[in-house]
Every structure is written in C-alpha cells, then in structure tokens.
Amino acid sequence: MKCGREPGGIKADEFGICPAAADISFDGINSGTCGGRICWAVAGTFCEGKVQGTFAEKRNSCMSCSFYKTVQEEERTANRHTKFLRFISQDDRNPVFDKMAYKHIKKGERFVCQGEVEDTAYIIQRGSCLVVVEKEGSLHPVDHYGEGDIVGGLGILTGEPRRAHVEAETDMELWVLKRENFEDISTKDPELLTFLTEIVADRLDSRRPTAYRTIGKYVTTDIIGRGAFSIVYKGIHKGLNMPVAIKMMRHDMATNDEFLDSFHSEAKTIASLNHDNIIRVYDIEERYRTVFIIEELVDGISLEGLLERLKTIPPPAAVHYLIQICSGLDYAHQRDIIHRDINTTNIFVRRDDRIKILDFGLACSIGTEDMTSFGTAFYMAPEQIRSEPLDQRTDIYALGITAFEMVTGKKPFPVKDLRRLFEMHLNRDVPDPGDVMPNLPDGLRGFIRKACSRDPLKRYQTAGQALSALQTIAKDFSLTQKYLPPEQRKMSTVFLMYRDEHQLELNRLMEEFSIKARKLGVELKVADFRDL
C-alpha cells in the first residue's frame, strides 16, 4: 500500500518500521516482505494515513482492501504444484473424496489448536485461513493458506503436537483427511511421494512466513539447490547460530528400503570423513518421512556454474582442481568409501580456489552392487550402468568425464535419450579430447583418455595413481605448490562458566567426557581461569 514504513522507508523515522515487516518474535524468521503479505493480521500497521489496531479491530476493513484481495487471488492460483486439492482431483483420483468428511467453518473460528496432537489434516475447498503461533501470551501470524492447500499435512506425517493455531479468515469449506486415509493414498499412489517432497519443500522455504521451518536443532531458510535426489537449503544451528547446508532427500529415495539400509550403515563413516577437499557432514535428521543431511555451508560456485560462466577451464586450472578432487577421493577410498556420483554439480569451487566434493551422503562401500543405479547418467561408468559391483575405478571414470567437460566445455556423449546415452557409455570409447581442443597438452589428454577407459582394468586403479599422474602433469605447468596438505590436528576451544559449588559435578562430567574423547583419539587439555 506504499505506506513508507518499510525498513529505510520515507515514513519509517516518523512512524517507526511497520511491525508486519519487522516481527522477528517467532524464531526470527518472519521479517521482511514475506511478513508484509499478511499485514492484515498484524497489529499496529499503517494504512489510510493512520496506525491500525488489532486484527480483530480491523478485520472488516482489511477484507475489503485491494492488497488483501490481490494476495487472496495469488494464493488461489500460485504454487499449483503444492495444491493438494488439484493433485487428488486429477484423472481417476476422485474416489479419494468418498473416504473424507466435509466440514463447514465460520469466519473467525479456530479449527486447529497449538499443542494438540491430531491425526487430521484439512484440504481447503473454499475460503482462506491464518496460521498463528502463540508465544508468551502473544499471537504471531506466520502463514496463510487458501483454496486447494492442505492444512496440517506435516502434522499427520510426524504425529507431533500442532505448532500453531489455525483460524478461519473467511467462511471455509474443508475436506477432512484422516491419517489412515492419507496412508492409504500413499501406499496406492507412488506419485504422492513426489508431491510430498514439494509440499515439505514449500513449507520449509523462506518465500512464505511459516511456523514449519525447524528440522531438529536447525532452522531452514532459502532453497539453494535442487537435484534428482535432494533439495538443499541454507540454514542455521539454533543453539550455536552456525550456518549450515540442509539437504532433504526426496521422498521416493527416502522410502526406498534398500537405499535407507545402505545409507544408515554408511552414515557414521561418511560423517567421520575429515579432509580439506570433502564437505563435512555434521548430522543426520529424520523428519516428515524423509532424511535430512546437515552439512558444512560452502561459499563459492559449482564447477557446472563456473563452466557456464567461462565455457572451458584453462588446462593449468583444470589440473589444479583435479589434483584436489583426486586427493579427496583417495582419502575416501582408503576408508572404503566411493562417492558414486562425481560430476560438475557435485564439485564446488570456493572463492580461494579450493575444491570441495559434495554429496558424499549418497556414497557407498567399495564392492557395493549398484542395483538402483544411483548416479548421474552423463558420468556413469559402464559397470555402474550394468549394476555390477562398484569400486574406486567407478569414481575415476566419472572424474575422467568431468575432466573432459572441464577442458572442452562439452560432455563426451551429449545426447538426451537415456537409452542411447547408456548404449554409448557401454559400447563406445570417449572421444579424444584433443580432437575437440587441438592445443590440449598431451599429458592432460592422456590422463582423460586413461581415466575414461570402458574397461576398468585399463583405468587408473586407484585415485592415488591418478593423483601421481596429475602431479607429474602439474610440473609441466610449473604448478609446484604442494596440494596434498600434511596430516593436521585441529583444536576446538570450549569455555565453561561456573560457580565454585558446581566444581565437583563438573569434574565428574569432564572425566566422563575425557574417557569418551580418548576412545576417539581426541586429547583433552584443561586450563583454569580464575575470577572471571
């Protein structure tokens, strides 16, 4: 409404910043323009030349506001891929309605109560509602749902108490969906798994203010990436205020029992990987019928993004990057872990030109039979396509394809038809990169051809061998820097502030901690600071 009370607005100094654009009382996430979208539910907003009262006091005037009507229309038509009503109304899904009750809610009625545990979700046939969090006696509007949306869908996934109240903004007509009906739909309709991923992703995204943005100890913010297997968010650790990346596995992956069993058996090993060129995995959370992997947040650009910008990577820089990738792979392979999905999207280039290998969350043990063919088709080795046992040479093949793309700017087999692409990987040698880039140095050309051999016996047999070859090539470019850092020890500092009467219990606690730390090879040093 151009009130001028936005942060930095022309009337912000005189009247203060609009509370709809500055409310951070619920986990600090409801500020900015998203908060402004539900300004009619926030007390003290500025409209028609004066400061407005509470939602109850201004409800009628807000309902006739042009901005309110605009948002209502947007909510009705936007985010079609997360509109549950449209999903179950498609094709032959109409019989689902036979299992659901129909309910009428009057304007102002609260039909979901914060703190209650229910096995019910609601699909909005007509009308709209507000999601309101009650905190320390105050009400904080955090979300808004309209026609076609599902209300309480995440609640019936987790079985947890409701995180917020839901109040009818207008008269509403709802379909009532019980958990057992939802389970029945899930079992009989595998497409629902893909749909569930989009619902959860939408609820966790910062494009709309919402009460659902917490994953255990973490709060999600922006979606920063989407892939075949996962959706990645930027987030923070609530207690430590530490930035993290939060990777949500797509539901069709998370419900694959074979994948989950393998994933959990390797999760501890993957989390223990500690190498400068491998992204750190901090934590695993299981929520909303899927798995969240909490990782180190890296500032930089993917190799794919860098190639889009530069078209090709100069050979000296390519060798510099390949040495670091090989160093990380060699470290992982020595610990019986293969990556299984090396490609340009999973290689991240930091601002200091250091490499981070991403997506070790999909790794597996050497010797795994890849029955589910995880991987990215353009980079998959022949044995991976044939679902044969995998080893470190599978990663080396993908690394060779990645190297080909780095120096030529093209994929060796740039076809979109999946069957034809697989046939080419199985039956054709990768083209000579020197034919695409005539001035490509012979050493790098030979490295790519050997790494991309269809026969695993003709490839480099270990990442260590590949690394040695690259270090020899590096000398031709005068890349004399030692890229393999020596084994280093790290130190973390923790300060414990306590009173004298806590000394005895603290000593016992530190003794228990020290015993567990020594089993991990961690040395504990304690220093006292008096009279702080």
Give the percent of the chain with pLDDT over 90: 28
Give the C-alpha separation, 394 to 404, whole Å: 16
Asked whether the predicted pLDDT for residue 50 surpasses 70, the reply is yes
Interval 330-336 mean pLDDT: 93
Active site members: 341
Where residue 525 falls among pLDDT bands split at 50, 70, 90? Answer: confident
Asked whether the predicted pLDDT for residue 187 surpasses 50, the reply is yes
Count of CB atoms situated within 10 Å of the CB of 271: 18
Q: Token pair for residue 120?
A: 């019910």
Q: What was the pLDDT predicted at 209? A: 61
**What single DSSP character describes residue 50?**
E
Q: What is the pTM of this model?
A: 0.67
Q: What was the pLDDT predicted at 477? A: 74
Amino acid at site 147: E
Interval 66-75 mean pLDDT: 79
Interval 22-34 mean pLDDT: 59
Interval 252-262 mean pLDDT: 70
Point out which residues pair with 290 in neighbouring strands.
Answer: 287
Q: What was the pLDDT predicted at 24? A: 65
Give the percent of the chain with pLDDT over 70: 80
CATH code for the structural domain at 80-204: 2.60.120.10
Asked whether the predicted pLDDT for residue 474 surpasses 70, the reply is yes
Lowest mean pLDDT among 230-234, 352-356, 366-370, 501-505: 366-370
Asked whether the predicted pLDDT for residue 303 surpasses 90, the reply is yes
Which contiguous run of DSSP H or E holds residue 73? helix 66-77
Residue 153 buriedness (CB in 10 A; 0-12 / 13-18 / 19+): buried
Of 34 and 86, which is predicted with more confidence? 86
Residue 89 buriedness (CB in 10 A; 0-12 / 13-18 / 19+): middle
Class of domain 300-476: mainly alpha
Asked whether the predicted pLDDT for residue 11 surpasses 80, the reply is yes
Q: What was the pLDDT predicted at 485? A: 41
Where residue 483 falls among pLDDT bands split at 50, 70, 90? Answer: very low
Fold match flag (80-204 vs 300-476):
no
Q: Of 69-83, 174-188, 458-472, which one has max mean pLDDT?
A: 458-472
Where residue 27 falls among pLDDT bands split at 50, 70, 90? Answer: low
Give the C-alpha separation, 90 to 77, whole Å: 16
Taking Cα atoms as reference points, which of 334, 283, 297 lies closest to residue 467? 334
Give the C-alpha separation, 532 to 530, whole Å: 6
Point out which residues pair with 121 in neighbouring strands.
Answer: 177
Q: What was the pLDDT predicted at 486? A: 43
Give the C-alpha separation, 334 to 128, whole Å: 57
Q: What was the pLDDT predicted at 284? A: 85
Interval 380-408 mean pLDDT: 93
Question: How far is residue 42 from each of residues 110, 113, 519, measured CA to CA in Å?
Answer: 17, 19, 54
Instruction: Map out the domains of the chain as residue ranges.
Output: 12-77, 80-204, 300-476
Asked whether the predicted pLDDT for residue 532 surpasses 60, the reply is no
Q: What was the pLDDT predicted at 291? A: 84
Q: What was the pLDDT predicted at 80? A: 59
Q: What was the pLDDT predicted at 25? A: 61
As a whole number of Å, the CA-based R_g of the chain is: 28
**What single DSSP character describes residue 280?**
P
**Inter-residue contact 353 to 320 (CB < 8 Å):** yes
Asked whether the predicted pLDDT for residue 89 surpasses 70, the reply is no
Q: What was the pLDDT predicted at 487? A: 45
Give the C-alpha separation, 138 to 257, whole Å: 44
